[in-house]
């Protein structure tokens, strides 16, 4: 059953602004990324979402397609972003079957909670490989298509683009490394790398018409990340660490995505758009583990789905 439009984007956007455009998204079956893609599809785009779990990815693609009658959404599962050849094949299929690849969302990520002294070298490597190398592999696979799209959809800021916008990449990052976050050293390192990569892409590919930006979500309600990485009994208390007094919604991440990909975001390049209600500025520690007591105890993280796995 189709979602109500206001559940996944605000009503301020004009229908059809992404007509005949195609968005490619890694991590596309996830709570946040699927909503970003859904908003783009509702506004005219077709899409190709990438994921590890084939059934989940294909089912999500079908669900996203309900956002607009006639929408085409491909779900490609069994894709590990750490394997560049698989991403290259997926990008090629996307462009071939849907006609182009105009926008890219690099959203695949890995995370769990653990203090640094309990993170194995393999666990650290896994997170960095998924986040940093996965984002790099995504850029490498999609960049030729994004450059072509940017050339077809040039904007000068003075006249309305006759064929809309294109040639834009968006990295989904985090705010964890801004002030430092306990139990998240591995992801902080990885996301700092993603942020640096996004800026490099902006500097090097900007002269070709490609824009590269970052969205950094804060605590977003009803997401897989919130469910896995915080204790449910402490979430009400965690609101107090957010200046806006609440957790965010996936709709608000989707709205930021539409802005950066739309005509309104033409001159935004190499920037980070933080969507967190001001939460990172309080350096709040709202996942239910008391600082510094928990770290001094030497205990392992328990009581959350996203704890350290022994196999890592």
Instruction: Give the DSSP H or E segment for 260.
Output: helix 250-261
- Could you give the count of Cα atoms lying within 13 Å of 74 in the half-sphere of its Cβ? 19
Strand partners, 113: 307
Active-site entry in 149, 173, 212, 241: 173
Helix, coil or strand: residue 291: coil
Would you give the DSSP letter of residue 68?
A: S
Helix, coil or strand: residue 86: helix
Task: Identify each DSSP E strand in the chain by its residue range.
Answer: 22-26, 46-50, 73-76, 103-106, 168-172, 211-217, 272-275
Rounded CA separation 23/198 (Å) = 18
CA 175 centroid distance within chain: 13
Among 148, 155, 151, 166, residue whose Cα is nearest residue 19: 166
Give yes or no: 309 in active site. no
Would you give the DSSP letter of residue 160?
A: -
Active-site entry in 21, 135, 188, 191: 191
Q: Which residues of 230-244 are buried (b: 16+ CB within 10 A; e: fewer)?
A: bbeeebeebbebbee
Taking each helix axis from N to C end, the angle separating 31-42 and 54-64, rounded to the nearest 10 degrees, works out to: 30
Q: Which two tokens stand for residue 48?
A: 């190709």
Among 144, 136, 198, 194, residue whose Cα is nearest residue 167: 144
Give yes or no: 120 in active site. no
CA of 147: how far to CAs of 87, 136, 165, 205, 294, in Å?
A: 17, 16, 12, 8, 48
Among 174, 166, 102, 184, residue whose Cα is nearest residue 135: 174
Which residues belong to the active site?
173, 191
């Amino acid at each position: 059953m189709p979602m109500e439009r206001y559940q996944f984007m605000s009503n301020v956007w004009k229908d059809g602004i992404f007509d005949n455009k195609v968005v490619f998204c890694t991590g596309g079956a996830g709570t946040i990324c699927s909503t970003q893609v859904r908003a783009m599809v509702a506004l005219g785009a077709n899409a190709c979402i990438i994921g590890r779990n084939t059934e989940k990815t294909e089912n999500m693609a079908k669900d996203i397609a309900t956002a607009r009658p006639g929408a085409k959404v491909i779900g490609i599962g069994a894709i590990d972003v750490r394997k560049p050849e698989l991403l290259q094949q997926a990008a090629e299929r996307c462009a071939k079957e849907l006609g182009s690849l105009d926008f890219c969302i690099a959203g695949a990520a890995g995370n769990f909670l653990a203090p640094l002294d309990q993170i194995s070298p393999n666990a650290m490597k896994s997170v960095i490989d998924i986040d940093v190398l996965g984002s790099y592999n995504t850029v490498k696979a999609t960049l030729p298509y994004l450059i072509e799209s940017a050339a077809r959809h040039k904007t000068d800021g003075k006249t309305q683009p006759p064929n809309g916008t294109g040639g834009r990449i968006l990295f989904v990052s985090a705010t964890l490394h801004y002030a430092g976050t306990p139990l998240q050293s591995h992801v902080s390192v990885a996301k700092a790398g993603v942020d640096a990569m996004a800026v490099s892409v902006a500097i090097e590919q900007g002269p070709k018409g490609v824009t590269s930006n970052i969205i950094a979500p804060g605590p977003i309600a009803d997401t897989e990340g919130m469910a896995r990485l915080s204790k449910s009994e402490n979430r009400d208390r965690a609101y107090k660490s957010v200046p806006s007094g609440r957790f965010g919604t996936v709709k608000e991440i989707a709205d930021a995505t539409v802005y950066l990909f739309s005509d309104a975001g033409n001159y935004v390049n190499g920037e980070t758009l933080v969507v967190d209600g001001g939460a990172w500025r309080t350096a709040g520690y709202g996942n239910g583990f008391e600082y510094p007591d928990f770290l001094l105890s030497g205990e392992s993280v328990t009581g959350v789905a996203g704890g350290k796995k022994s196999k890592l």
